[in-house]
Amino acid sequence: ETGVTQTPRHLVMGMTNKKSLKCEQHLGHNAMYWYKQSAKKPLELMFVYNFKEQTENNSVPSRFSPECPNSSHLFLHLHTLQPEDSALYLCASSQYRGQGEQYFGPGTRLTVT
Amino acid sequence: GNSVTQMEGPVTLSEEAFLTINCTYTATGYPSLFWYVQYPGEGLQLLLKATKADDKGSNKGFEATYRKETTSFHLEKGSVQVSDSAVYFCALISGYSTLTFGKGTMLLVSP
């Protein structure tokens, strides 16, 4: 595997379910990011990790819970989501936080029913 | 704060036409500027960048020049192809900020 991978690619979940999104980067980077991409809205940065430490949480509801066990892996744990949380969730990485050259995964298309 | 404004899309062109997608920005300090591209079903990919005024970024026939006097970073390509159909995002980073993206401009190229 090369670059940034995300699993699953598609996820349908009910509002009472608990699920997790996984991201893995094979680039030796130290910073990882979660973004939310909704139709007709700008890309929203959700969380940033630098050397496994969370450096940003952009007022994300607590039903989204990130986890970064090491610099190569990033998870987004989901529980009691709302239909408006349906979106494409993108993971990205960069050598260090604050760099503009970010490498994105293909995203997980999430539908909340 | 930082912000990026892009022209509304979609931009619809015939193959071999000239492309311009406008991008202007507001930033504190001295930003670096980027264009990212998102093909259908994929994540974003860095297309080109410029880190200081008057720099020209280029890649795959696309170009953009960092214009500090007009706070602009317009994307251009002399002859578009059907395979260029995608969503294009202008973005900036300044100081210790994270990337600030524009809303994206969809480009549709027909044969």
B46–A contact, CB cutoff 8 A:
yes
The chain A residue lying nearest B99, using CA atoms, is A100
pLDDT above 90 covers a percentage of chain B that reads 89
CA dist., res. B27 & res. B46, Å (int): 20
Q: With an 8 Å Cβ cutoff, is B3 touching chain A?
A: no
Mutate to test the interface with B, among A9, A46, A90, A104 (most CBs of B within 10 A): A104
Residue A32, chain B, CB below 8 Å: the answer is: no
The angle at the Cα of B88, spanning A11 to A98, to the nearest 5 degrees, equals 80
Mutate to test the interface with A, among B33, B59, B99 (most CBs of A within 10 A): B99
CB of B98 within 8 Å of a chain A CB? The answer is yes
Residue keyed to tokens 């450096």: A55
pLDDT of residue B28: 85
- Whether residue B49 and residue A101 make contact (CB cut-off 8 A), yes or no, is yes
3-class SS of residue A64: strand
Cα–Cα dist A21/B23, whole Å? 33
| B85: pLDDT strictly greater than 90 | yes
Q: CA–CA distance from B75 to each of A26, A100, A105, B6, B20 (Å)?
A: 30, 17, 24, 10, 6
Which residues in chain A come in under a pLDDT of 50?
A: none
A-B contacts at Cβ under 8 angstroms = 50
Tell me the C-alpha distance between B110 and B81, whole Å: 8
Mutate to test the interface with B, among A43, A45, A93 (most CBs of B within 10 A): A43
The tens digit of pLDDT for each residue in B18-63 reads 999 999 999 988 899 999 999 998 999 999 999 999 999 999 999 9
pLDDT grade for B78, boundaries at 50, 70 and 90: very high
| Angle, vertex CA B92, rays to CA B71 and CA A89, nearest 5 | 140
Is the pLDDT at B87 greater than 90? The verdict is yes
Nearest Cα residue to A112 out of A15, A16, A21, A35? A15
Q: Is some CB atom of chain A closer than 8 A to the CB atom of B41?
A: yes
The verdict on A90 touching B (C-beta cutoff 8 Å) is yes
Q: Return the sign of the alpha-carbon dihedral for residues A28, A32, A38, A41.
A: negative
pLDDT of residue A1: 59
- Is B98–A97 a contact, with Cβ atoms under 8 angstroms apart? yes
Q: Among A100, A103, A105, select the one facing B34 at the smallest CB separation.
A: A100
Is the confidence at residue B15, as pLDDT, over 70?
Answer: yes
